[in-house]
């Protein structure tokens, strides 16, 4: 998995956590 993809996944996870 490329670094850019992992960064996007991390950002998505952080966004879902902040919405909770």
Strand (E) or helix (H) holding 2: none
Environment class of 2 (CB within 10 Å of its CB; exposed 0-12, middle 13-18, buried 19+): exposed
Instruction: Give pLDDT, residue 1.
Output: 55
d(CA 15, CA 7): 12
Instruction: Give pLDDT, residue 3.
Output: 75
Radius of gyration (Cα) for the chain, nearest Å?
A: 9
Answer whether 0.75 is exceeded by the pTM: no
List pLDDT tens digits, range 1-20. Answer: 567 889 999 999 999 998 87
């Amino acid at each position: 998995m490329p670094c850019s993809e992992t960064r996007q996944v991390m950002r998505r996870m952080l966004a879902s956590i902040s919405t909770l």
